[in-house]
Amino acid sequence: MSVVVPECCDDLKRERGRCLFNKEELTNILDGGPKLTEKRRRIEKMLINTPELFDDVSPDYLSHEDRYSNELRKATQLMTTLEKNGFTYNDAVTTGTGLWLLMDGNPLSLHISMFLDTIKGQSNPQQLQEWLPLAEKFKIIGTYAQTELGHGTFVRGLETTATYDSTTKEFVLHSPTITATKWWPGALGKTSNHAVVMAQLYLGGKCYGPHIFMVQLRDLETHRTLPGIVVGEIGPRLGMNSNDNGFLQFNHHRIPLTNMFMKHSQVTEDGKYVKPLHSKLSYGTMVQTRVGIVYHASRELSRALIIAIRYSAVRHQSEMVPGDPEPQILDYQTQQYKLLPHLASFFALRFSARALLEVFIGTSAGLGSGKMNMLPELHALSSGLKAVATNDAVKGTDICRLACGGHGYLSSSNLPRIYTAIAAGITYEGENTVLFLQVARYLIKSFRASSQGQTLPFSVSYLRVQPPSSHAPLMSDRGLVDALGAGVRWMVGEAERRLQQLVDSGHSPHAAWNACSVHLVQCADAHTRYYICEQFVDAVSKLGETVSSGVHEVLRQLCRLYILHRVIQTAGILLRCGAVDGKALTSIEEEECHLLATLRIQAVSIVDAIDIKDVFLKSTLGAWDGNVYQRIYEEAQKSPLNKSDVTQGYYQYLRPLMKANL
């Protein structure tokens, strides 16, 4: 399939004619540099030239089984195409291209993410040598099986047991109750022949908590389920129905001792336990995936924004001035207010994802040399950013849908599919409220440590008592970010005060925690957003030295919008703690409206610079040429109901009803 870039409609031509910045330069910044843009485009070209990767028929028109088979066909084709052309699966993931082709629930996504990451991050050298080549070459195909019917969040409450039998040097895996059934893992139902399984380790009758085991589920020749294992698919879900999310039960199923992942903790042949350096090292795959999800969420949000902003430039509706031609809906301030703060969020999330990745890489290097001290901060940052990124991507994507009016509700807009795929991100890999509560734990601990004079890690250092060093004028970017920081400090101080007050009045610390948890979640959300603001301001100010003035100005405006919007959202807190006053807020609101109008002028060019091709956007509303109505019409012709003028349903039901004497 070759891509011919079509002439765009007059509206989009005019929009693009107003661009005052170098789009390619902005594209490079978003990709992480010109080399990465070039690499992404090489991958895209290769994929675009593989017609088997594209659907002839929308998955919406396929049966449940055909939908799965079709996605599996494309997933396997994707893997072989990448391999043959010298790219890795990771290349397709990090550029987003692979995800966009397969985001109806790619049945190999868990294999190439959490299964491979667990092998890489949790194996001892022998295990790595044995399993990694097999998994990388798809000789074994796996998933990450942790969640059970009864427990997802509370990992320590999992019921699957792995009991060591020293006479045979085996673990016996067992699901003692219905609630112990593994439930949800992607690709578990029909695709995977292996799984990394989280189970409670039992040695000599004592439970040592959740540990990870490599378990073969199916015969490698026949693909039949092995004895002692029951496995199947869980049925339709809100979205991503081309995946085979599955269930799994063990009936005293035996695996060798060497199948426990032994990088961090070990069991000796005679059944002795060797502790890990940190009790949560076995949760490493989850942390790594949370880091990936921040990128993933920002990418999905960007697809929705491209669709909604281009459509808003093409769509004309109503009269702004009686008798005048119908304006582009993007000219309405309310439309700008719906979309442009989310555009700013996309940039903020992209820069923060990059900062988080650096923390992840630094912490992982430290772990390699036995340094565990950065782990709590990485856990808090990855939890908070995963939660904010998915919450904002889901909200932003739905706003994009609403901003497209009725046509946003069409499957062919692709907004419903983007929405349902990213909506799962709020729940999977740690439900967001639960993750925020983890962040809150870290904040309260840090706040208390600071009160005792201890030095705090970098991401929470602003929680210490306000130093008189912040001299940035309030209305500057720095000044407003400092005000947001003062707001979080006040919120955390207030949470700590309420917790202490409850404990002093006789509540247990746990009861006090629950009684303050709404406020604690707000603290965690505010802290994470403060961190995002900081990363955005830092990134833009660093780029200022290297980029052209046009690009710098656009980034500065987006950053400013993000901060102003955040200040307005937090107004109540900022007023209460005295970080801003009513007069400042009024001028911030006015400035936001002014900025919306400024950014509107180049909005189409900004989303063009995100550089996602039509074949990956898959949207009748968001295509480059803006030929919206023709595309919607043509897509409707593909409905199976349009194959005949009169449907079977007419003869079967409608006609008898019309003929009946009611």
Ligand X SMILES: CCCCCCCC/C=C\CCCCCCCCCC(=O)SCCNC(=O)CCNC(=O)[C@H](O)C(C)(C)COP(=O)(O)OP(=O)(O)OC[C@H]1O[C@@H](n2cnc3c(N)ncnc32)[C@H](O)[C@@H]1OP(=O)(O)O
Q: Which residues define the annotated binding site for FAD? A: 147, 186
The item of ligand X, ligand FAD, none sharing an interface with residue 376, based on CB under 5 to 8 Å by kind, is ligand X
Q: With respect to ligand X, which residue has the nearer C-beta, 80 or 333?
A: 80
- Residue 657 CB, shortest distance to ligand FAD, in Å, is 40
The string over 557-590, giving b where at least 16 C-beta atoms fall within 10 Å of a residue's C-beta and e elsewhere, is: bbbbbbbbbbbeebbebbeebebbeeebeeebee
Q: Which of 428, 475, 519, 575 binds ligand FAD (CB under 6 A)?
A: 428
The entry of ligand FAD, ligand X, none near residue 145 (CB within 5 to 8 angstroms by kind) is ligand FAD
Q: Stretches 46-54, 403-411, 430-438, 492-500: which one binds ligand FAD (CB under 6 A)?
A: 430-438
- Other beta carbons within 10 angstroms of residue 223's beta carbon come to 12
| Binding-site partner at residue 433 among ligand FAD, ligand X, none, CB < 5 to 8 Å by type | ligand FAD
Count, residues in the chain: 662
Question: Which residues, at least 6 apart from 644, have a Cβ–Cβ distance to it below 8 Å?
Answer: none
Instruction: Compose the 76-115 pattern: x for residues touching ligand FAD by CB under 6 A, - for all others.
Output: ----------------------------------x-----
Q: Does the footprint of ligand FAD cover residue 147 (CB under 6 A)?
A: yes
Burial of 43 from C-beta contacts in 10 A (0-12 / 13-18 / 19+): buried
Residue 418 C-beta: closest distance to ligand X, Å: 13
Out of ligand FAD, ligand X, none, which partner does residue 98 contact, by CB within 5 to 8 A per kind? Answer: ligand X
Residue 283: name its binding partner from ligand FAD, ligand X, none (Cβ under 5 to 8 Å by kind): ligand X
To which residue do tokens 């020293």 refer? 166
> CB pairs under 8 A, 24+ apart, for 148-155?
148/179, 148/180, 148/181, 148/182, 148/183, 149/178, 149/179, 149/180, 149/181, 149/183, 149/247, 150/177, 150/179, 150/180, 151/179, 152/184, 152/431, 153/430, 153/431, 153/434, 155/198, 155/210, 155/283
Q: Which of 534, 336, 574, 569 is nearest to 583 (CA)?
A: 574
Least separation, in Å, of the C-beta of 367 and ligand FAD? 23
Distance of closest approach, residue 195 Cβ to ligand X, in angstroms: 11
Considering the complex, what minimum distance in angstroms separates the CB of residue 401 from ligand X? Answer: 21
Check residue 431 for interaction with ligand FAD (CB under 6 A). Answer: yes
Residue 51, classified by CB atoms within 10 Å of its CB into exposed (0-12), middle (13-18) or buried (19+), is: exposed
Rounded to whole angstroms, the Cα distance separating 465 from 487 reads: 12
Per-position b or e across 409-448, b if 16+ CB within 10 A of its CB: ebebbbbbbbbbbbbbbbeebbebbebbbbbbbbbbebbe
Q: Could you say which of ligand FAD, ligand X, none residue 441 binds, taking C-beta under 5 to 8 angstroms by partner kind? A: ligand X
Q: Give ∠ CA 300-336-341 in degrees, rounded to 5.
A: 50
292's contact among ligand FAD, ligand X, none, with CB below 5 to 8 A by partner kind, is: ligand X
CB of residue 106 to ligand X, shortest distance in Å: 5
Nearer Cβ to ligand X (137/583): 137
Q: Which of 429, 496, 534, 592 is catalytic?
A: 429
Name which of 158 and 573 has its Cβ closer to ligand X.
158
Contact between 146 and ligand FAD (CB under 6 A)? yes
- By beta-carbon distance, which residue lies closest to ligand X? 98
Q: In this structure, which long-range contacts are made by residues 544-549, counting pairs with CB atoms below 8 Å and at least 24 apart in sequence?
A: 547/25, 547/29, 548/21, 548/22, 548/25
Nearest approach in angstroms of CB 2 to ligand X is 23
Question: CB 14: neighbour CB atoms within 10 A?
Answer: 13
For ligand X, the closer of residues 154 and 473 by Cβ is: 154
By CB atoms closer than 10 A (0-12, 13-18, 19+), residue 156 is exposed
The nearer residue to ligand X, 92 or 502, going by C-beta atoms, is 92
| DSSP-derived secondary structure for 24-50 | HHHHHHHHTSHHHHHHHHHHHHHHHT-
Instruction: Build a one-symbol-per-residue string for 229-258: x at contacts with ligand FAD by CB under 6 A, - elsewhere.
Output: -----------x----x-------------
Q: Which region among 137-145, 310-318, 464-472, 556-564 touches ligand FAD (by CB under 6 A)?
A: 137-145
The enclosing H or E element of 215 equals: strand 206-216
Nearer to ligand FAD, 292 or 430 (CB): 430
427 binds ligand FAD (CB under 6 A): yes
Among this protein's residues, is 429 annotated catalytic?
yes
Beta carbon nearer to ligand X, 155 or 584 = 155
Closest Cα partner for 177 from 158, 205, 193, 190?
A: 158
Cα separations in angstroms, 494 against 381, 488, 489: 21, 10, 8
347 Cβ partners below 8 Å, 6+ apart? Answer: 30, 536, 555, 558, 559, 562
β-pair partners for 356: none
Q: In whole angstroms, how close is the CB of 385 to ligand X at the nearest point?
A: 13
Task: Retrieve residue 352's tokens.
Answer: 């923060």
Pairing state between β 194-203 and 229-233: unpaired
Closer residue to ligand FAD (CB): 344 or 389 = 389
Provide the minimum distance between the beta carbon of 445 and ligand FAD in the complex, in angstroms, as a whole number.
17
Q: Where on the chain is the footprint of ligand X (CB under 6 A)?
A: 78, 89, 92-93, 98-99, 102, 106, 109, 112-113, 144, 146-147, 152-156, 186, 280, 283, 286-287, 289, 292-293, 296, 375-376, 379, 428-430, 434, 438, 441
Positions 175 through 214 that interact with ligand FAD (CB under 6 A) = 184-186
Residues contacting ligand FAD: total by CB under 6 A = 23
DSSP result, 308-322: HHHHHHH-B-S-SST
- Phi/psi of residue 163, each to 5°? -105, 125
| Dist CA 5 CA 625 (whole Å) | 8
| Residue number with CB closer to ligand X (53 or 491) | 53
Q: Is 144 in the site for ligand FAD (CB under 6 A)?
A: yes
68 binds, among ligand FAD, ligand X, none (CB under 5 to 8 A by kind): none
Tally of CB atoms within 10 A around 134: 15
Smallest distance from ligand FAD to CB 240, Å: 6
| Closest chain position to ligand FAD (CB) | 152
Q: Which is nearer to ligand X, 386 or 489 (CB)?
A: 386
Residues annotated within the binding site are 147, 186
Selected binder of ligand FAD within 134, 434, 601, 632 (CB under 6 A)? 434
Applying CB under 6 A, which residues contact ligand FAD? 110, 143-147, 151-153, 184-186, 240, 245, 424, 427-431, 433-434, 437
Which residues are marked as active site? 429
